[in-house]
Amino acid sequence: TDYNSVLVEKRGAVTLVTLNRPQALNALNSEVLRELIEVFAAYDADDSQHCLVLTGSEKAFAAGADIKEMQSQGFAEMYSANFFGGWEQVTSTRKPWIAAVAGYALGGGSEVAMMADFIIAADTAKFGQPEIKLGVTPGMGGSQRLALAVGKAKAMEMCLTGRMMDAAEAERSGLVAKVVPAEGFLDEVMKTAEAIAGMAPLAAIANKEMINAAFEMPLNQGIRFERRLFHGLFGTEDQKEGMTAFVEKRPGNWKGR
């Protein structure tokens, strides 16, 4: 690929994206964001790809937004550039994606992991929102997504003290879907990604869309949204195929339509 800060590899139907700024523990600068926006848009548009895994290194998923890039910025520059606003393009990805976190996921690193549909953590993972130690706050959705994931008490304590949360606590608190040993970590994540990539593609998008609706809509609206989308899938070939395959005791052969 022609990217500088990320590595992109298609493994079957799974796109593996590796943050690659080891000299800065994968700190997220404007170049990383620019490249990820392209990578995620290309993934969404690629009919051969059905799950994406975003990962970092053994030591760090990402140690935050790039402090050296932000250090000298003023309000007008941040506001006019809508600094970090581009991440909304990443979170508008329609197909499923997983954050695979080993090592540090701090500040913006944790925030990007929380943008994923879910997080799988290695037992070495450490999450934190240490922005308060820099005189600021989370700026990529962390205060909102952390509070939704772990509740007010832990979100407040994490953001006000800047302390780190280890993988076991993250799992207990509902921040991550599961924790796996660092040894063989990515292979385990790839198994989950391949399982998702093997599902009916439209059903994957619909499941994702309706779970996200739970965080954006009142319950009665969300339930109606779910039911309509569920009804809608009965207009797809894959619904006929999936239910026929069950009755015939064979795996489904998906068309994505």
Q: Which is nearer to ligand HXC, 5 or 15 (CB)?
A: 5
For the bound state, the minimum distance from the C-beta of residue 108 to ligand HXC, rounded and expressed in Å, comes to 3
- Reply yes or no on whether 31 is catalytic: no
Helix, strand or coil, per DSSP, at residue 114:
helix
Q: Which is nearer to ligand HXC, 64 or 201 (CB)?
A: 64
List the catalytic residue out of 60, 62, 65, 155.
Answer: 65
* Sheet of 178-180, strand order: 6-11, 14-19, 51-55, 97-101, 118-122, 178-180
Query: What is the binding site for ligand HXC (CB under 6 A)?
Result: 24-25, 27, 63-68, 70, 104, 106-108, 130-131, 134, 136, 138-140
Q: Which is nearer to ligand HXC, 103 or 242 (CB)?
A: 103
Instruction: List the beta bridge partners of residue 128.
Output: 106, 164
For the bound state, the minimum distance from the C-beta of residue 255 to ligand HXC, rounded and expressed in Å, comes to 42
For the bound state, the minimum distance from the C-beta of residue 67 to ligand HXC, rounded and expressed in Å, comes to 4
d(CA 137, CA 15): 32
- Reply yes or no on whether 77 is catalytic: no
For the bound state, the minimum distance from the C-beta of residue 89 to ligand HXC, rounded and expressed in Å, comes to 17
- Reply yes or no on whether 237 is catalytic: no
Q: What is the DSSP letter of 85?
A: T
- Reply yes or no on whether 38 is catalytic: no
List the catalytic residue out of 108, 109, 139, 242.
Answer: 108
* Both structure tokens of 58: 């053994």
Q: What is the DSSP letter of 174?
A: T
Q: Which residues contact 100 (CB under 8 A, 6 or more apart)?
A: 53, 54, 55, 61, 119, 120, 122, 185, 186, 189
List the catalytic residue out of 63, 64, 102, 111.
Answer: 111
Q: Which is nearer to ligand HXC, 132 or 205 (CB)?
A: 132
For the bound state, the minimum distance from the C-beta of residue 129 to ligand HXC, rounded and expressed in Å, comes to 8
Q: Which is nearer to ligand HXC, 130 or 201 (CB)?
A: 130
d(CA 223, CA 230): 10
Q: Which is nearer to ligand HXC, 15 or 110 (CB)?
A: 110
d(CA 5, CA 34): 10
* CA proximity to 208, closest of 44, 6, 10: 44
Instruction: Specify whether the CB–CB gap between 238 and 219 falls below 8 A.
Output: no
For the bound state, the minimum distance from the C-beta of residue 180 to ligand HXC, rounded and expressed in Å, comes to 22
* Both structure tokens of 160: 């006000």
Q: What is the DSSP letter of 217?
A: S
The residues carrying an active-site annotation are: 65, 108, 111, 131
